[in-house]
Structure 1
């Protein structure tokens, strides 16, 4: 039996050496490690423990260090890879779910610190500032190494101990495919970036919204066919899903978005909804299952299905556009089309991009991509080839910004409790954990003057070190605005005076009337027919008369319908649901402004008293696998007191907004958490007493100091304390409710 290796050095790092001879060594920067079409190379790995080097096969797989250094030895040079464990990847609410033979679901919280060890890493290649690395050490070494605009894959060899393959990503075995981004009643139209800037939601550009880190609490589900394709090995499937999430998180970090995995689920007995080769119906089935079954038992922002089914045609993924955070549409389906998890990870990132409001990169959009097309291009390309794309284009960044400005993603700004992330507590990991007052990283990298990096405690006279409500090491006063409302259905947040963090984002309850707009709020956005007509036809466009919707959408054909019911059939709209079908407009430009693949569908309807009405619809040529994006968006007002849901005109009473508003005594509005957001001079929770406005969720609207100063001023004038709701405070009322 081998002797126990000496303890870890103080730096808490292991050094793994991968040794191997490459047929075409890299001799200078800018030259690929491989010639075109180069074969896979076999390398071995060793672990440095103290002064000893030991094979990876002897490495304790349950002990994964926080910092890891890998050296890849080539014929004429070496690459040093610096890695850090991806501490924020797996949340404490993380659960693994599978099923017994009788269909009973088994969910368990799995502490990766104790059982398996946190074995997912991100990092860079030393000396290459543009490099990025995403690896796992769960079962040997596996992952991506990207530098100098080239991508390489490291994988364990089958049936071999301590032997690995290192090869260009273009050599991965995969199925060439494309995305069928799915548009229906809860989507924006394709290519909505063509919308003129003047037609975006009225309101100021919210810098803090764009700069703030967004968190996607993600669930990944593997269907039964995927379980079978992975050898019916439950642990292997779960590990593959987590590895996919680790790569996706790496792809999104440059966009200031973190992907936090809250659950994986494996349908190891049977599929829980119908998954077929038809990607359209499979997506609808999965999204319905998510809403009805998954959401009630597992809180999350988005769910992606990884399927082992080969979809019809060239489609390898499909997702609704701009649907993030929606109960009905926040998700997608992905075909696991490659031997490596990297392939599915790229497609998940692509479909997640559609959920974020990103459209395909096309030539006419003039997108800028830092990676040449022959080397993979960018993630939102319509088709996926070799090698896989791993970065986002300028168009994707612009689409994301536009979506955020329109109010998309209301659930993404809630800062998760850092203690909810597994990986072990440690001062210096940039996570403020239990017992710590702050954490600014290791002493040599800490730039925060409020925090003692050695002890993770606040410096003398400092009250805080992090957060939007912390300034110059002190808490901002209660009532200080920390997040403005982004649109007429969003609510602002204010510092509480007790926490350095801005309260979680909240917005108006679904079904609430939009301020100054003839519509209703839905998922934090005010959708109207007029806004959608302007999106499709440009300035000057407006909704057509009701007879246009009724006549056109009763046809049940590609040009007038209430959505697809299968790949090639369409639903006729009932009279009451006509305004939830294909949108009909008048005026605007001579042709649709949403892209070159959109055409005008004009219908002339004769009137009984003579004359005709011109109805203008749109048809976008997207292929049989993709529904037309000209359908009315979910949440759009279709009649007084009614809203479009699931392509039906339904009463807003289904949301319970009126019952919720009663408790606010006419002095506030109901937010999405069913709590009152009170006017400036009334106190939550029920707006029935004098106070400082706001809600229990979003903080007080007015600063307490303003009231105290006013009271003191009144006493000095001998007037006593004025009522909190007096006219003297009317100037502060501009802070109330929504901008």
Structure 2
């Protein structure tokens, strides 16, 4: 399952100019969020299609005052707000590819101009509801930020129908509105949380006609009777009118007073979501004790402030003014704002959404829309379940919607893969679309014709390592080269370092320290970085490197784990250990290791249970009939930091020549 990032960026073209948008994940749906619907008077609720983790807010790079509010639930959907212009973006539903439409938002909500320009109406609106101001309490509790406002939204039948009569579409629009509201209230460190959404899809539960004051009182009574058991700090009724005389009603400064914490907001014909989010933000601000701005006295960083009466007719990013900030600080200090200090549980768990092309919890598959899936797909696009009689949707062990026992590569070629001599063939079980757990041969099992041993799934090849360092023709040096260089006890020849001093190599350990190779060329080694030393011994030009590392750093010239070291010995922390202590456990399998398995019969895996991997014809029943005891106390693997080297000779040869060319 894909991990949804908490931050992301997009490059979006606007008027042939590319803009980089930086986004950060925002959560504003509570854990108990539900959508309530009505059908012939019967109420139902659901929340399965809501994805709380795919909402983001951010800015446009190079435009510090810009605001971006986007949903990534299914394509990109939202608004990009610059200083004085806004753009909407949404996916093209009919296309299979990741294509979107970008359009400039209108800023001429003329149907509100009479309200905004009528100072008498504005005065009446802002003063008539500023009547329930409580007495000053004790000094405020300091440092109460951040704040959370849980909002319950009710949508009347007319607005539900105007927005499309589709519960998913209407829900997504109101979540988008809440996202826009949050982009404005971020300035006050307030998160407006959507607690639930109630859609009066069949009929209105109260009358929605009449004046603002009357309708607000009716809604308050209904709220107190029907919403007591549904968590919220404030409840709002959103209604639709073609050309209303008002845009809303609310009690000023009463956000935490249960009997007055409510509002009625009117959605006029042809109003944009951006403009309506400003209306609702103004109403919430009024309930937080914030008054409308006097444009002559109040200023903000944007072209127009949120509490300016004309803000709903202006596109672009908006912020609260200095006057609004002063009002809010006064409200927090002098009014009861305790309800804002309760942090609700916010949803952070991903919910499955069928059709988004992401396989999520509870889904077998997700191929997208009907057009994206096509008729031959293994997946039912309506349920995101496999079609009847089919096994799988995709995966390396899935072919033709059925489980198989061999890999199916992208090229269509069927084959099994094996990475190394110490690695088992990867295989498909025939019961899953994914390959079986990777298994490797147990550490200590002989490999490379007995010259090395398996270690963590690899069979080391010192000759190949020399070739990778010094080119074709290079190979692991003979013993006389190790004796010449390792006996010097300097940075090129040693058996490790302790407390800043090089360790002397015991004779039996000369080939168990650092890798020495034969040098195949007459051209000096000229790779920048390490120091290099050559030794000419019996017409063999030997070479090794020093990387000037700290004592705690891993040395790339250390002998590879799993290489043979001396005669029947291995290197443990650069000293020798009898090879049987390392190899024997690989030959002893089964519970308690009560029987010994010969190499011709099979080998053990590195799984924790020491699973037996037997050759064909030798199953568990055969093993059970054999007894015997290995008599080996296997050392803990962490105590066997094995660094091994192949030794071809034990003879001692005289020193001929040495040359140091430290680069």
TM-score normalised by length of structure 1: 0.42
Structure exhibiting the larger radius of gyration computed from Cα positions:
2
TM-score normalised by length of structure 2: 0.47
